[in-house]
Structures are given as C-alpha cells and as structure tokens.
C-alpha cells in the first residue's frame, strides 16, 4: 500500500514537472540563460549558454528570430556523439560541433521544423548554433578555432 502511494505521488510530481516544461517550451518566451562572449577569428559572438538537460531540450524553440551575431552554446557533461534536430524551431540555423580545445570539428545547416538529425563527426561536449550561413559567410570551417567561453584564450 505504501509503495502504491509513493508511486502515485512520484507519477503526480512527474506530471507537474512535464506540464511546466511543456509550458516553458511552448510559451514562445526566450529562456533566461547566462551569456558568454566567444570569438571566431575577428568575429564576436554573444552566446546564451544551455548547460542543463532542460535548457538544452528547449534550446532556440519557438523563437521567431535570432539577432545577428548571437547564438546558443550547448554544453554537455561529457564528450559523446551529439545530434540535434529542429522540431519546434522556427529559425534556419547552422551548427558547429566543437572540441574541448575550441576547434570546430564539423558544421551542418538545419532547416526549421525538421526532425532530421544533424550529428557531430566525433564525440564532443560543445555545439554552437547560429543563424544559418553565419559560419560560411565568415569563413569559419572545420579546423577553425573558437576562443572565449569555455575555451582557452
């Protein structure tokens, strides 16, 4: 009986958490995340930092636009193959998968509302999303170095 009560309470709590998460994800409101400045060559990036599972899950969902020179840095606890998709994301984005030393390993363009995954070529802890074409227009490609944020100066 006690086990049944505990299970009911646990499921009830998870339902509340899930509802709050869904409301945050569907609200159209940008998350309030810490900002870090990153440089890519002579280009400055103002990136929101998504560190927690919930922050990474919401990412840039439901936003109608992303200001030029701004992006989102996804930080994972450990290096693994990382894959991203664009469900509920309205902005066309480019993503850079980045090694621990700030080296861009690979890049991918992602289309709004697509459920097609784009993955890192190797295990990484970092991914940086920017407006689509941002990296290409600035000559940032695999092998380029990012500085600032979590990377060495």
- pLDDT tens-digit readout, 102-148: 999 999 999 999 999 999 999 999 999 999 999 999 999 999 999 99
Statement: residue 15 has pLDDT above 90: no
Percent of the chain exceeding pLDDT 70 equals 80
pLDDT score, position 31: 84
The residue written with tokens 């994972």 in the block is 76
Where residue 9 falls among pLDDT bands split at 50, 70, 90?
A: very low
Q: Are 146 and 127 in contact (CB under 8 A)?
A: no
Please state, for a pLDDT cut of 90, what percent of the chain lies above it.
Answer: 76
CATH class of 33-148: mainly beta
Q: Sorting pLDDT into bands at 50, 70 and 90, what band is 14?
A: very low
Q: Domain-by-domain residue ranges, the chain?
A: 1-30, 33-148
pLDDT, position 152: 79
pLDDT score of 123: 98
Q: What is the pLDDT of residue 29?
A: 60
Q: Are 45 and 36 in contact (CB under 8 A)?
A: no
Q: CB-hemisphere CA count at 13 Å for 28? A: 2
């Amino acid at each position: 009986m006690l086990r049944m009560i505990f299970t009911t309470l646990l499921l009830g709590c998870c339902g509340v958490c899930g509802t709050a998460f869904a409301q945050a994800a569907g609200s159209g409101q940008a998350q309030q995340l810490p900002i870090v400045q990153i440089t890519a060559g002579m280009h400055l990036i103002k990136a929101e930092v998504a560190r927690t599972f919930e922050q990474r899950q919401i990412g840039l969902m439901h936003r109608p636009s992303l200001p030029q020179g701004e992006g989102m840095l996804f930080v994972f606890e450990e290096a693994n193959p990382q894959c991203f998709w664009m469900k509920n994301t309205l902005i066309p984005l480019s993503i850079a998968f980045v090694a621990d030393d700030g080296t861009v390993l690979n890049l991918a363009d992602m289309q709004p509302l697509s459920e097609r995954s784009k993955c890192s070529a190797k295990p990484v802890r970092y991914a940086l999303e920017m407006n689509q074409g941002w990296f290409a227009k600035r000559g940032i490609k695999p092998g380029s170095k990012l500085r600032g944020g979590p990377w060495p100066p």
